[in-house]
Amino acid sequence: MKILHVIPPYYKDDEVLDSALSLIGRMLDSTEIHVAAFEEDMQKVATLPITCHTIHHRHPLTEWISVPSQYIKILYQVLPDVVHIHGSWNLFGANVEKWSRKRGFKVVLSPHDRLRKHVWNLGFFKTRLLPTVCYQRSMVRHCCALHAGNEQERDNLAALKWNRHITMVRHDQPHLMQAFYQRVIDRDIHRQMSVDERQSVCYLLHTALSGDLRQPDRLPTSVMERLSAEQWRHIFIYTQKEEVTDLILKGIEIQQLQIPYRHPVSAPPTESNIPLTRENGLVGMLADVRKHVKKRTVTLRHLSDLYQTFIQLDCDEDELCRELKEKKMARFTARMEQVLSEIFFLTEGFMPVRQRNDNHTEKIRKSIILKP
């Protein structure tokens, strides 16, 4: 794990620098640490056995070009897993968040008590209102997560309601800090999954729900057997978020696979992943799924329930098609059939209407994220 700590210049205020170095000093044995700071702070930073990257002040007229270019050069030289910014109320720190985020790097922020009420109210209209409007609020909102050093700071950050991803870790808990970084890295785990990992998820879900071991035009078992422990970790983290870990384990058991990774315990369902109700039949479930698609809260658990309803469907298809048209859901049903055929290998015999693959289908795929 590689972490780039960025310490903006606070000039006469050394409290942020001291707090940042206190945190960094306790992480030396657990992570590869790089620190980017300005030359006036480098004397203190260089006292630690870490890799330092100095940002130099140039001519005031060209500084708006030289400072960004220096930081971006450091960013691509280090290629960190996480960029950790220290402090608040600093335009350079806000720009670092923007430059890093737009280049695909994950950013976390430690305000070091600089967003507490006392600092917030200190000369608000003179020194806080304009920075809040221009950059500070946007910076906090766009960070992947916020780090609080104590419970009071956590409560202050939560009261702002700018970012709900807040974790409290004291500076004397390096192992929890490392776990915090790992959660940030794994937050968008679907973007790190390879084609083989995604296809393995689809095939195991199909196996679990149908018990079908045949593999015509599908993923060979040998591909899943070649997956590494890290790839299986990706699969279980993703499927745990999607509430289908139990189905993946069932598929692995049916396939009799020996995997090199011990799966985590399934998490309890969250409020956003409430199972679909089957009281209103297929039409009612499709209506629920459409709501989740619009809210971008649809999960593989929702789709697995919908798939089971399709394959267990026992009704008059002509009457069902008429009801779908009356409720203006025929096209959405056709698009969902296309998606289910790609993820769960739903066949035409279980499709009441003809499947449809268009731009709206692509939007549904993106909302589900998992695209084989």
Q: pLDDT per residue over 147-156, tens digit each? A: 998 899 899 8
Model pLDDT, residue 269: 46
Q: pLDDT per residue over 125-134, tens digit each? A: 667 788 888 8
**Pick from 311, 302, 298: nearest CA to 341:** 311
Please determine, for residue 296, whether its predicted confidence score (pLDDT) is greater than 90: no
Please determine, for residue 10, whether its predicted confidence score (pLDDT) is greater than 50: yes
Lowest mean pLDDT among 155-169, 177-191, 271-285, 303-317: 271-285
Please determine, for residue 281, whether its predicted confidence score (pLDDT) is greater than 80: no
Rounded to 5 degrees, φ, ψ at 229 are -60, -40
- Threshold 0.85, pTM exceeds: no
Model pLDDT, residue 262: 72
**Pick from 363, 362, 270, 352: nearest CA to 315:** 352
Q: pLDDT per residue over 55-100, tens digit each? A: 987 766 667 788 899 999 999 999 999 999 998 888 899 999 999 9
**Pick from 73, 96, 69, 138: nearest CA to 9:** 96
Q: How confident is the model at residue 105 (pLDDT cuts 50, 70, 90)?
A: very high
The first and second tokens of residue 340, run together, are 């289910």
Q: How confident is the model at residue 3 (pLDDT cuts 50, 70, 90)?
A: very high
Q: For the chain, where are the alpha helices, taking DSSP H only?
A: 15-25, 42-45, 63-78, 91-102, 117-121, 129-131, 137-142, 151-160, 174-186, 195-210, 221-225, 229-241, 245-255, 281-295, 300-311, 317-326, 330-343, 359-368
